Structure 1
Amino acid sequence: MAKKKNTTEQDLIAFYMDYVLEHSEQPKSVYAFSKMNNFEESKFYEHFSTFETLEKGVFKAFLTNTLLVLEANEDYQKFDPRDKLLSFYFTFFENLTANRSYVVYALKQHKGSLKSLTVLTDLKAGFCNYIEHLDIETLDIKEDRLEKLQQRSLRETAWLQLLLTMKFWLDDTSASFMKTDIFIEKAVNTSFDLLDIKPLKSLIDFGKFIYKEKFSSH
């Protein structure tokens, strides 16, 4: 039988997910994996160096698919950052739910907290980049070092919130994961309420006014 010539990254991910769900373990080797799925071994290395990098690619693909769906939605383009992030969450977790058996396998086979899982490193990089380009309003700090620190804190906090939501979803036993939907809405709204800088801006402006009035009169 002739080998498949056009084996894509998506094909490899699908082959791998099917294999581990059927066997509850990684393939024994790239050679065995390629032979089983009838493609040239070299095709694997065009996209991934190891099965571990492929595993990272699975979670990156969940993110990529989510962003493609959102970017194709004209209404999404008009949303403010809060509604954009809510849309991201609901779409991302629809992707996870559609592949729940694999996600549970991939995350629960590793020991330790989700935060320490290397399989999520590509997902984190992509998600943090997404957060950075959401244009979430923060304090206007006229100092580069402090501004970078503020942006880093925002990205890390957003990433931690995503991990907490994934953990909640993994443990959710409600029908259609309705409790996760509620968790998402409350978590995202709460985080944006905490980020609301308008009261703080007003306080700073008031402080500037008091300072000006107090000291300009002397």
Structure 2
Amino acid sequence: MENETIITEEKILELYGDYILHHGKKPDNVYLFAKENGFEEKDFYVHFSSFEQIDKKILSSLFLQSVELSSTADGFENASSKEKMLNTYFIFFENLTMNRSLVLKVLGHNKIYFTKVSSELREAHQRFVKTLNFNEWEIISKAKDNIKNISEKAKEQLLWAHLVSAVEFWKKDTSPSFEKTDLYLEKTIDTGFDLIDNEPLRKVMDLGKFLFKETFKKN
């Protein structure tokens, strides 16, 4: 009796990643992908409906792993919300960098596809943001009353837009060890709230100079 190969979600993720890294592109279709890896096409659909769903899983898994790892760091419980967010982001971008060749293929060059493929990542990010205490965030405590009282959903959307901008920056970053992406995170983590409040202008101006230099003056 032949041993039946058991295809798990983790196995498909592994095979999919290996295919992209070895071929420099995504598989043409599920049938060929399954056949080349010695399993039935129907086994693929037990776990995923399409390659797009795998792309979503890869991105969200990298973020969830980062959140989990960040939460185990010494002093995490007593850290401020800003420190928790920065630490989680630094780990997330380290994970992205460790898997850069795969992640760039997953993200693609089409912004519409990026919006679709990042839907699970966005949900994971929203759940993470809900764990943060914005009341202790210095930039919120010093803001005008109408800014302090913006809805949690608005804050989530604002921080999601910031993360998307950081991913876009990372994709184009050519600095050693992608150190400019770390600098980008440090310089921009508060900026969304600053822009709503329009204060302080100096920080916004500094950010503008930084973005112009890094985005438009790269060789």
When normalised by structure 2's length, the TM-score is 0.74
Deviation track 1:172-195 (CA, whole Å, cap 9, x = no partner) reads 111111111111111124457779
**Higher relative contact order structure (alpha carbons within 8 Å, sequence separation ≥ 6):** 1
Return 5+ residue gaps in structure 1 as ranges.
140-146, 197-218
Q: Which residue of 2 aligns with 1:186?
A: 187
Contact 1:19 1:27 in 2 (8 A): yes
Deviation track 1:82-136 (CA, whole Å, cap 9, x = no partner) reads 100001110000010001111222223x42368x620111101110111122122
Q: Which residue of 1 aligns with 2:110?
A: 111
Q: Which residue of 2 aligns with 1:162?
A: 163
Q: Which residue of 2 aligns with 1:213?
A: none
Higher Cα Rg: structure 1 or 2?
A: 1
Query: Which 10-residue stretch deviates more, 76-85 or 42-51?
Result: 42-51
Query: Which 10-residue stretch deviates more, 31-40 or 125-134?
Result: 31-40
Counting aligned pairs with the same residue, the percent is: 34
Compute the displacement of 1:8 (Å): 3.1
- Looking at structure 2, the residues matched to 8 and 72 of structure 1 have their Cα atoms a distance apart, in angstroms, of 28
- Looking at structure 1, the residues matched to 48 and 133 of structure 2 have their Cα atoms a distance apart, in angstroms, of 33
Are residues 1:98 and 2:129 paired? no
- Looking at structure 2, the residues matched to 37 and 100 of structure 1 have their Cα atoms a distance apart, in angstroms, of 24
- For the residue of structure 2 that corresponds to 1:38, the secondary structure is coil
Compute the displacement of 1:67 (Å): 1.8
Deviation track 1:65-91 (CA, whole Å, cap 9, x = no partner) reads 112212333422221101000011100
CA gap of 1:152–1:19, structure 2 versus 1, over 3 A, is same
Compute the displacement of 1:29 (Å): 2.9
Q: Which residue of 2 aligns with 1:200?
A: none
Contact 1:4 1:40 in 2 (8 A): no
- Looking at structure 2, the residues matched to 195 and 81 of structure 1 have their Cα atoms a distance apart, in angstroms, of 19
**Alignment coverage as a number of residue pairs:** 186
- Looking at structure 2, the residues matched to 26 and 63 of structure 1 have their Cα atoms a distance apart, in angstroms, of 22
| Structure 1 counterpart of 2:31, one-letter code | Y
- Looking at structure 2, the residues matched to 49 and 185 of structure 1 have their Cα atoms a distance apart, in angstroms, of 38
Q: Which residue of 1 aligns with 2:151?
A: 150
After superposition, where does 1:127-146 map in structure 2 within 5 Å? 127-137=125-135
- Looking at structure 1, the residues matched to 112 and 31 of structure 2 have their Cα atoms a distance apart, in angstroms, of 32
Compute the displacement of 1:14 (Å): 1.9
Are residues 1:123 and 2:124 paired? no
Q: Which residue of 2 aligns with 1:27?
A: 27
When normalised by structure 1's length, the TM-score is 0.74
Deviation track 1:40-75 (CA, whole Å, cap 9, x = no partner) reads 444422321111111111111111211221233342
| Structure 2 counterpart of 1:71, one-letter code | S
Which of structure 1's runs of 4+ aligned residues deviate more than 4 A? 189-196
- Looking at structure 2, the residues matched to 35 and 72 of structure 1 have their Cα atoms a distance apart, in angstroms, of 41
